Chains A and B, each alone.
Chain A
Amino acid sequence: MNIPPVISLKNIVFGYRSGNVLDGLNMDVLKGDFVGLVGHNGTGKSTLLKIILGVLTPQNGTVKLFGTPIKKFKDWDKIGYIPQKAGLSVSHVPITVDEVMRMEKASDYEVDEALSSVDMLSYKHQLLRELSGGQQQRVFIARALVKNPELLILDEPTVGVDVKTQEKFYELMQKLNHDFHLTLLLVSHDLHTISHQVHCVMQLDKKTIPYETNTCNIIHTHHKNADHN
């Protein structure tokens, strides 16, 4: 039996008043893939992410998650999402790491387990705002892991972090992909860094450029922005 793609996008068209941002985009992300979604500002990265997460509906095309059309998709526990700079918006509130974790339905054991997997258990009772950017990011990854997801989506995870934190972050990603068999979709504007870490890259401002070991099934037939490059 064929396993359906984790993410399947077919002929996606989406535009704002100023014109189409995504124009006939196709993409399949298979189980176990580690995909980088790269593009400069305005190339549709955030739009595509919102379409995948069901926040935006494309004007044309179909979106399927784990083989189910997005409108019928209910199994959100399979997806962990870590927004860009998630912790910054709540820096004015004294929320603890434990309270961040409790936003997901989880037992004490599950919380401890998830925090351990990202080496953050000892910070459980610390205030989120007292942690560094890299540590905060690990907490949000842990929160996503509490659900035991099969797909992890990270939006600009390495913006504003130093090289050492970046290295540790990618080590963690490799571990999650390799040891925990998680499918990863990483959104970034930094092609140079990401291309050395992921299995393949989908570059939104160019036609398909499978990078490094091309193990992903990304078909990017046509993209309006590609014509500009």
Chain B
Amino acid sequence: MQITTNLFQYEFMIRAFWAGIIVAIIAPLIGSFLVVRRLSLIADALSHVALTGVALGLLLGINPLITTILTTVVTAFIIEEIRSNRQVSGESILAMILPGGLALALILISIANGFNTNLFTYLFGSITTVTNQDIWIIFVLAAFIISILLLFYRQFMYTSFDEESARTSGIPVRLINHLFMVLIALTVSVVMKVVGALLIGALMVIPVISAMQIMRGFKASMFVAIIIALLSVLVGLIASYYANLPAGATIVMVSILSFIVASFLKKNN
């Protein structure tokens, strides 16, 4: 009890918890569909592109979240176009986008004449520097993402599991795939502030694959993945606060621990 009292006397920690809770809900929701589509690495690829967005924002003096959303959404559309036309395999596209995003970010930084310390917080996350305005932006984007997911859950599910049959069931597959790409891009933009560009994929995917080890059913796995992500964020934040560790990295390490525990439970079941 004493521990939590100490922790919550700081405004920045309260904001960090709010941001973490919101992110822990949306990251596995989107991540579940990514795992089904075998597109787990797309979050990592987009996070590197998101860095380009941040660099662009810093260079132009615009709120980096806006430029991040724009660049990730546009890139997500390009990835989907190439993927659906089967010009290049999904894996190869990601292998190209990932370093490409980082390279472009570095070039933009170079044009800006040097490394901006702000960018460092986007690389590794800076949940404790989340502002009230950030909280509101994250909340609105999360509400949008969850609403779209609830509204089109069946369509997302059908398209993710079985694109061909979904098409013959009258689902506008192309539209749904593009909409899903927008959701991934928005989620990446939001999650980046909490765990950083380099660790986004971890929070979107690890809780999901942990839950899938032990749960029966896709929906059940999704709910348990959210619980694992919430636990990872809360335990990670508390541990990082008291052990003076980087918050994003600690959150990711706790989620990896959850995967080890889930694998152990599965093996012994």
Contacts and interface: CB of A to CB of B under 8 A. Distances in A.
B161 interface: yes
Interface string B212-226: 100111111100000
B81 interface: no
A94 interface: yes
Interface stretch (A77-85, A110-118, A171-179): A77-85
B2 interface: no
B162 A93 contact: no
Contacts of A82: 165
Nearest to B32: A93
Contacts of B164: 53, 55, 81, 83
Interface centre among A53, A79, A81, A105 (most CB of B within 10 A): A81
28 contacts: A53-B168, A55-B167, A81-B164, A81-B165, A81-B168, A83-B162, A83-B165, A86-B165, A89-B161, A90-B161, A90-B162, A92-B35, A92-B212, A93-B35, A94-B221, A95-B161, A95-B217, A99-B219, A100-B161, A103-B154, A103-B157, A103-B165, A103-B166, A103-B169, A104-B169, A143-B165, A144-B165, A153-B168
Given A90-B162, A103-B165, A104-B158, 20 more contacts: A54-B167, A74-B170, A76-B170, A77-B169, A77-B170, A81-B165, A86-B165, A93-B36, A93-B212, A93-B218, A93-B221, A94-B215, A99-B217, A99-B218, A102-B157, A103-B154, A103-B157, A103-B166, A104-B169, A140-B165
A99 B161 CA distance: 11
A93 B164 CA distance: 18
Contacts of A95: 161, 217-218
Contact of B169 (A76, A96, A99): A76
Interface of A: 53-55, 74, 76-77, 79-83, 86, 89-90, 92-96, 99-100, 102-105, 127, 140, 143-144, 147, 153
Contacts of B220: 94
A102 B217 CA distance: 12
A102 B154 CA distance: 8
Contacts of B168: 53, 76, 79-81, 153
Contacts of A100: 161
- 5 smallest A-B Cβ distances: which pairs? A76-B170, A81-B168, A103-B158, A95-B218, A83-B164
Given A83-B162, A103-B154, A94 B167 contact: no
Instruction: Describe B's contact surface by its main secondary structure.
Output: helix
Contacts of B219: 99
Interface centre among B165, B167, B215, B221 (most CB of A within 10 A): B165
Contacts of A99: 157, 217-219
B217 A96 contact: yes
Contact of B216 (A55, A76, A94): A94
B32 to A, nearest CB: 9
A81 B38 CA distance: 23
Nearest to A53: B168
A68 B38 CA distance: 36
Contact of A103 (B162, B170, B215, B217): B162
A105 B36 contact: no
Contacts of A81: 164-165, 168
A90 B217 CA distance: 12
Interface centre among B169, B170, B219, B221 (most CB of A within 10 A): B169
A89 B164 CA distance: 12
Nearest to A140: B165
Contacts of A105: 154
A102 B212 CA distance: 19
Nearest to A104: B169
